[in-house]
Chain A
Amino acid sequence: MNTEVADAAAGAALKSAATPAVISPARALQTLVRREFWEHPALWRAPLVAGALLVGVLLIAIFTRMHQHTTVTVDGNAHVLADVVHLDAVSKVAAHTFVQGGLWLALSILASIVVCFYLLDCLYAERKDRSILFWKSLPVSDGLTVTSKLIAALVAVPLIVFVSAIGLELLCTAIWQLWSFTGAAPAVFAWDALEWLRTEVLILLVTVLAVLWYSPIAGVFLVVSVWARRAPVLWVLLPIIFAQVVEQIFSAIVGTPRFLSHFINYRVFGIWEQLGLFHMHLLGHPGIRPIGSQLKELNFAAAFTDVDLWLGVIAAGALAYGAVRLRRYRDET
């Protein structure tokens, strides 16, 4: 009656003989993380779709302007762009690393927005669609369930972004280089394996730092997701907005310090100040410097040993534990 299933049944019959009597937590966790990507495909699709769009736009731009040389006006005279832009060898390498960093940053910002919505939804949606009764009918602990959601958000997605950004950057710069061979576009990129690698190491370290620094926010979102009976997004936003407004009013009338605003500002940007990210020296003489050159200048040691960073990680752990406890007796109601 059902040949598709029949074929699968034959294969499964062979495999089932080797089915283990016990499933290791690692295998269960792997299945649970896969489940997260089945339910929330935007987690992996968003960076890939954004990347594909970018490549698409680049290709359209190339094909539509294949036979037109882009001109710019310099001193009142029109010049072909490719003839005007002249970068030295170091600047070309630096420009390549700027593409690396820029694409990674763009994908990271997009993925961060998707992850925020994911974290707010992941423990709420299972109650909303009543599927929590199905998930809880299987031998999966609440601890493993919450852990899988954190791994999906804080490990799997950053890794996907990291790898996608590398692929995208290589593809985009390769396309640009081919275009520049036609003389229609300026040759602004040069490949330097060491600088490329240094930039990727810097991006990886910044990624790890970002995951650790923002982990308490992920913890808060998980708690709201498991606790809220409806509209978890509002439960996150409204109290913060309300408290900010109240604080601003008091600050304006009584002159009290704005602790909350400072705290939020600190939790968003604090670690980057510590790292020195806002004071990078990317302008050299005469051109620009590769991002990877900042590997020595950024203060990773101070950032990774920051007490607030690790207090935040502990807070994230406590919040995740709270989410586990709250999910224990959560049902479809």
Chain B
Amino acid sequence: MLPPHQVKKMTAIVEARALTKSFGATRALDGVSFAIETGRIVGLIGPNGAGKTTALKAILGLTSFGGELKVLGLDPRTQRDELMRDVCFMADVAVLPRWLRVSQALDYCSGVHPRFDRAHALEFLRKTDINLTSRVRELSKGMVTQLHLALILAIDARLLVLDEPTLGLDLLYRRKFYDTLLNDYFDKERTILLTTHQVEEVENLFTDVMFLHHGHIALNSSVEELGSRYVQVTVSAEQAARARALKPFYEREVFGRVAMIFEGHSAAELGALGELRTPSIADLFVAKMQGTATT
């Protein structure tokens, strides 16, 4: 994923320039620009009300917006029907209609989606306890997710958008969901855009992260870049003053020691102060949301 200043003519699967969306006086998206390249797994992370779902809905052509947005080279506002042949999305698990039978879900997708492979969906369902005659309302929440995942995996889409797909599921189903996504679905031709609040569980999945805060991008980087850009140093109380002189953008006390996150400092520069490590995405998220610095 490219940061806003590098957004230019490219082979990006999603390309947004100065994206805006307001709800009354609230600006859900305030001039957001970004690009997502093919073959990436992008985590769109932000607190509630940050604009994540609005951004996803704009990408999916589900809401009106200002600015420029191209998804697979198409405008979601005017070319949504064409776009949805190559884009698939899954909101949380509650959106499959409760009256629908499993067999009907397969019939429906086969009947309307040219890239849906019924055999593939059935192959996936075979590994589960889901019966074709069951209605969605008769399935557990985890099974509904498996069914939805079976439908999605069977669609040969180029962009998969997931908005809190594992909300309300237990850890076992969450783990299974992401393992399946990674092993059975993702490849270099496909792109996944994912929002979740359970950052710690999926941060190893991401190739890129984008933090949204109050309708602005607070961080936009590949995961590889994070390691060279951000350093977390855990210093003793005695070293804290020396470390603060280098202007960390976030700090917190941990068992009498102070963990500080720096941006733009080399490991060599900070090594003498204390224990170094690359901050986790969850730590960086908290730091960015609570700290003062912005990219």
Q: Is the CB of A16 within 8 A of B119?
A: yes
Q: Which residues of B contact A137 (CB under 8 A)?
A: 60, 84, 88-90
Closest CB in chain B relative to A288 CB, distance in Å: 47
Q: Is the CB of B63 within 8 A of A129?
A: no
**How far apart sit A22 and B111, CA to CA, in the bound complex (Å)?**
10
Interface residues on B, range: 35 or more
Q: Digit string of A188-205 for contact with B (CB within 8 Å is 1, else 0)? A: 000000000000000000
Q: Which of A21, A34, A129 contacts B98 (CB 8 A)?
A: A129
With both beta carbons as reference points, the residue of chain B lying nearest to A16 in the complex is identified as: B119
Closest CB in chain A relative to B194 CB, distance in Å: 15
B64 at the interface (CB under 8 A from A): yes
Q: Which residues of B contact A132 (CB under 8 A)?
A: 95
Q: Which residues of A contact B132 (CB under 8 A)?
A: 4-5, 8
Q: Is the CB of A39 within 8 A of B97?
A: yes
Known: A134-B96, A140-B112. A12 touches B131 (CB 8 A): no
With both beta carbons as reference points, the residue of chain B lying nearest to A27 in the complex is identified as: B111
Q: Digit string of A135-148 for contact with B (CB within 8 Å is 1, else 0)? A: 01111110000000
Known: A2-B128, A28-B112, A139-B85. A12 touches B122 (CB 8 A): yes
**How far apart sit A221 and B111, CA to CA, in the bound complex (Å)?**
27
A273 at the interface (CB under 8 A from B): no
Known: A5-B131, A8-B132, A38-B100. A23 touches B126 (CB 8 A): no
Q: Which residues of A contact B127 (CB under 8 A)?
A: 1-2
B1 at the interface (CB under 8 A from A): no
Q: Digit string of B81-120 for contact with A (CB within 8 Å is 1, else 0)? A: 1101100111100111111110110011111111011111
**How far apart sit A139 and B63, CA to CA, in the bound complex (Å)?**
16
Q: Is the CB of B62 within 8 A of A130?
A: no
Known: A2-B131, A9-B122, A139-B85. A329 touches B63 (CB 8 A): yes
**How far apart sit A6 and B132, CA to CA, in the bound complex (Å)?**
10
Known: A1-B126, A1-B127, A1-B129. A16 touches B112 (CB 8 A): no
B270 at the interface (CB under 8 A from A): no
**How far apart sit A166 and B72, CA to CA, in the bound complex (Å)?**
53
With both beta carbons as reference points, the residue of chain B lying nearest to A143 in the complex is identified as: B81
Q: Which residues of B contact A19 (CB under 8 A)?
A: 110, 114, 116-118
Q: Is the CB of A34 within 8 A of B57?
A: no
Q: Which residues of B contact A35 (CB under 8 A)?
A: 104, 108
B68 at the interface (CB under 8 A from A): no
Q: Which of A5, A9, A30, A331 contacts B63 (CB 8 A)?
A: A331
Q: Is the CB of B118 within 8 A of A5?
A: no
Q: Which of A5, A12, A129, A141 contacts B130 (CB 8 A)?
A: A5
With both beta carbons as reference points, the residue of chain A lying nearest to B89 in the complex is identified as: A137
Known: A1-B126, A8-B122, A27-B111. A141 touches B94 (CB 8 A): no
B125 at the interface (CB under 8 A from A): yes
Known: A5-B130, A133-B91, A141-B81. A331 touches B62 (CB 8 A): yes
Q: Is the CB of A15 within 8 A of B126?
A: no
**How far apart sit A31 and B106, CA to CA, in the bound complex (Å)?**
11
Q: Is the CB of B95 within 8 A of A134?
A: yes
A297 at the interface (CB under 8 A from B): no
With both beta carbons as reference points, the residue of chain A lying nearest to B88 in the complex is identified as: A137
**How far apart sit A228 and B272, CA to CA, in the bound complex (Å)?**
65
B253 at the interface (CB under 8 A from A): no
Closest CB in chain B relative to A27 CB, distance in Å: 6
Q: Digit string of A95-138 for contact with B (CB within 8 Å is 1, else 0)? A: 00000000000000000000000000000001001111110111
With both beta carbons as reference points, the residue of chain A lying nearest to B85 in the complex is identified as: A139
Q: Which residues of B contact A39 (CB under 8 A)?
A: 97, 99-100
Q: Which of A16, A28, A129 contacts B118 (CB 8 A)?
A: A16
Residues of A within 8 A of B (CB): 1-2, 4-6, 8-9, 12-13, 15-16, 19-23, 27-28, 30-32, 34-35, 38-39, 126, 129-134, 136-141, 329, 331-332
List 9 A-B pairs, minimum CB-CB distance, nearest first: A31-B111, A9-B122, A131-B97, A139-B84, A13-B119, A12-B119, A16-B119, A12-B118, A133-B95
Residues of B within 8 A of A (CB): 57, 60, 62-64, 80-82, 84-85, 88-91, 94-101, 103-104, 107-114, 116-123, 125-133, 148
What are 13 A-to-B residue pairs whose CB atoms are below 8 Å?
A5-B128, A12-B119, A19-B110, A23-B111, A28-B111, A39-B99, A134-B96, A136-B60, A139-B82, A139-B85, A140-B84, A331-B63, A332-B91
